[in-house]
Amino acid sequence: MSRQKTNTRGALALAGIIAAMVALGAISKSDAEVRQQALNRYCEGVAIWRAEALRGIEPTRRAGRPEGRHSADERCDDLPAQVQEMTRKRQQLAHY
């Protein structure tokens, strides 16, 4: 095989490897985005649950979700502010 064909095949192989790495990077980014969205939904659910607890609603009748085995205080940024916001929204809805 000639040196030129070998160089061409090597360049194509390198380009393929680079393309695969870029594609894997894009997949990883989307996985991270999916994880962040799931965490956001979890934190919002816990905030709703806590806001309804503050209103005295029984656990069997609350919306949202209780904390899982991981502490929401550690995993969720600014959870107290979210609880206050959920409480405010629920109070506004109660007036209608």
Per-residue pLDDT tens digits for 68-94 = 876 888 888 887 887 877 777 766 766
Per-residue pLDDT tens digits for 25-34 = 766 667 788 8
| CA 47 – CA 39 distance, rounded (Å) | 12
Across the range 3-30, mean pLDDT stands at 73
Residue 18 has pLDDT above 90, yes or no: no
**9 pLDDT tier (thresholds 50, 70, 90):** confident
Q: Residue 66 contacts by C-beta under 8 Å, 6 or more apart in sequence?
A: 46, 49, 59
- Domain, as residue range, for 7: 3-94
Q: How many domains does the chain have?
A: 1
The CA-to-CA distance between both ends of the chain, in Å, stands at 81
Output the pTM of the full model: 0.59
* Mean model confidence pLDDT for the chain: 80
